[in-house]
Amino acid sequence: MRAKSPALDRFRIAAAVLVAAIHTSPLTTYTADGDFFLTRVLARLAVPFFFLVTGYFLSRSEWNSLPRFLKKTGLLYLAAMLFYLPLNLYSRNLSGWQNIVRGILFDGTFYHLWYFPAVLLGSLLAFLLSRKGPRFALTAAGLLYLIGLGGDSYYGLVSSLPFGKAFYDILFSLSAYTRNGIFFAPLFLLLGAYAKRRNPRLCLVGFLLSFAAMSVEAFLLRAAEAQRHDSMYLLLPFCSLFLFSLLLSRNSGQNRDARRFSAVFYVIHPWCIVLVRGGAEMLGLEAVLVSNSLGHFLAVLLFSAAVSLSAVFFLPRRPSETGRAWCEIDLRALRSNTFLLQRKAGVHSALMAVIKADAYGHGAIPCARALRRCGVRAFAVATLEEGITLRRAAVRGTILILGYTPPSEADLLVRWRLTQAVMDEPYARQLAAQGRRVAVHVAVDTGMHRIGIPVEEVAAFRRVYRLPHLRFTGIFSHLCTANGRSPQEESFAQMQTNAFLQLVSVLRSCGCPVGDTHLLASAGILRFPQQPCSYVRAGLALFGAWETQEERDESCGLRPVLSLRARIVSVRRLETGERAGYGLAFEAKRPTVLATVSIGYADGLPRSLAAQGGEVLLHGKRVPMVGRLCMDQLLIDATDAGETYSGEIVTLIGRDGEERISAEELAGHCGTITNELFSRLGERLGRCILP
């Protein structure tokens, strides 16, 4: 089982401390060169890291979360401006309306608050550039960075060029520095947006080499007295990207407390600087807490940390996703499966991702966003509510509702740009009677006799295609024996395929606007030859699962996406003959270590699981469930698993060490299929998304 290490969130704290070091210069009392290296070289990695993280997570939602991010960050900026208003009034930093406007839009209303207008303006600009594609976006942002570089560390060189000083004088009339949301932030935001997990050793070597080169660059520029400011270096983007990729390769999970701590620390530390200096003067400790640069830094650091910890403690908190029982969703496995299925489908058929029932319990919204980044542009769900949920999450592309929607709700189909499956001819007439321009895919009954117009009734299809208002964009059917291995099942699937393709040909010859076609679902994609259809519908296969253990084919390369884990809440020892659980159903046949696990049938596990031979993984070993499964808990015999403690993690689906329990195996214990098991995993379970 992969250990959680929220490297990105943890490094936020280090970055915030480095920013405080910039503003306190800890080593000036001892060594000017050492302080320059700490605060003007090493610490210059801090703010680019914040931009990289922001760009990375904005891109994970395909920039759909940008409006919410702008609103949240804008409110935080407003609160920070009000928080520092007393200091501004006291020091008269913002005198004149021009300085006030410039401060709000570019420079920040206090010296460290420049980050907020930079990230607000920079994220908007990065989004606009990203719409032209990665190559254009990075090229444009790189050129802007180079322009900003000339007004920063390279100003002494560039200003000596013809028109150089005049050009930057114009820029400096608008913004005091070029480290702002136009020249500085967009490049790092886009580098974060396009960042990927890479080999950690390669990233470490790249970081060390680029950081060493950037250090040489900084000291040479300092010796040449070329620096107007020292926020921007030529090698800073390379160094920052290697560092971010290194952290990303080690990142798994998240730490909200670390995020909150770093945000509060960043905002409040200048106030703490003022208060430390004022307190030192009142107490007569200026020699230790002000004149001594290291003592001053440590006092500010401890004071800021104490305030930040207090704020984190008192701010409202959400329960941890991994506190009791949870599903881990491995998006890397989902991406791998997507690319494999796209190759199986062939170059002429696109992937339509079936993410009904909350993506088979995997989380429809994060999965849809990950699939969009893999190039998937069509989705299928079961209900109107599921379709609207995706649209509310700003998921774009075709969304086909495979299940029933009352015709009276046609206006919702139009409003949310959803496509409805036509169940049969009467349903098509009812839908058309609503007078709304509804997009539809016509279902064809090729022998399953569940939904669809019977394949042999060509006249019925022609009548449907003549109905007003409906916008026909597709036609589809479903192979009901695609999972079967017998000659009869394979023959029936071939008959359905031939009937569907022949019908499509006939309808096209009649001038019917059949639109896109799709027939093969997960099993058909993996087992049958490529078909001349617009789409293939991938559902369970996307998540690396099969309906039953017998069907599972390890050689096909699909990787399980979901792992199910829970925590041990109590451990006790039973003597031989003692009983436990409801009805005292378990009897210890030997001295037994009995552990209680915090998951039960209310979380979606079949109630018969323990009685049918269910097992969990603990310390990389298989451990049997015992007694009766409860609503919220189950019992395991942990005698052979070694020392066991409360709070430890057990795995019900997934891998722990060399052992693995598949979803198909767990479902098989209870005489059901994986689809049913996944769809029952309840909302009480946390969802831990592994990027």
Query: C-alpha 285: how far from its chain's center?
Result: 49
CA dihedral (111, 113, 119, 125) positive or negative: negative
Residue 547 contacts by C-beta under 8 Å, 6 or more apart in sequence? 483, 523, 540, 664, 673, 674, 675
Centre a 10 Å sphere on the Cβ of residue 67 and count the other Cβ atoms it contains: 10
Say how far apart CA 258 and CA 686 lie, in whole Å. Answer: 20
Burial call 519-547: b when 16+ CB within 10 Å, e when fewer: bbbbbbbbbbeebebbbbbbbbbbbbbbb
Using CB atoms within 10 A of its CB, is residue 73 exposed (0-12), middle (13-18) or buried (19+)? Answer: middle
Query: What is the per-residue DSSP string for 310-341?
Result: HHHHHS--PPPTTSSEEEEEEHHHHHHHHHHH
Closest CA to 320 of 4, 60, 677: 4
Say how far apart CA 603 and CA 625 lie, in whole Å. Answer: 16
**Is 582 one of the catalytic residues?**
yes
Which member of 233, 356, 360, 465 is catalytic? 356
Q: CA–CA distance from 604 to each of 569, 608, 614 (Å)?
A: 19, 12, 14
Say how far apart CA 604 and CA 464 lie, in whole Å. Answer: 41
Place of tokens 């209870």: 670
Are the beta carbons of 427 and 406 closer than 8 angstroms? no
Q: CA–CA distance from 109 to each of 82, 94, 98, 99 (Å)?
A: 9, 7, 12, 9
Say how far apart CA 36 and CA 44 lie, in whole Å. Answer: 11
Say how far apart CA 561 and CA 543 lie, in whole Å. Answer: 5
Helix, coil or strand: residue 529: coil
Place of tokens 């009995």: 594
- What residue type is assigned to position 162 of the chain? P
Two structure tokens written together for 474: 């597709």
Query: What is the per-residue DSSP string for 440-492?
Result: EEEEEESS--SSSEETT-HHHHHHHHT-SS-EEEEEE---TTTT--SHHHHHH
Burial call 397-410: b when 16+ CB within 10 Å, e when fewer: ebbbbbbebebeeb
Burial call 558-588: b when 16+ CB within 10 Å, e when fewer: bebbbbbbbbbbebeebeeeeebbeeeebeb
Say how far apart CA 220 and CA 156 lie, in whole Å. Answer: 12
Q: CA–CA distance from 163 to each of 54, 167, 168, 175, 487 (Å)?
A: 36, 6, 9, 19, 82
Active-site positions? 356, 582
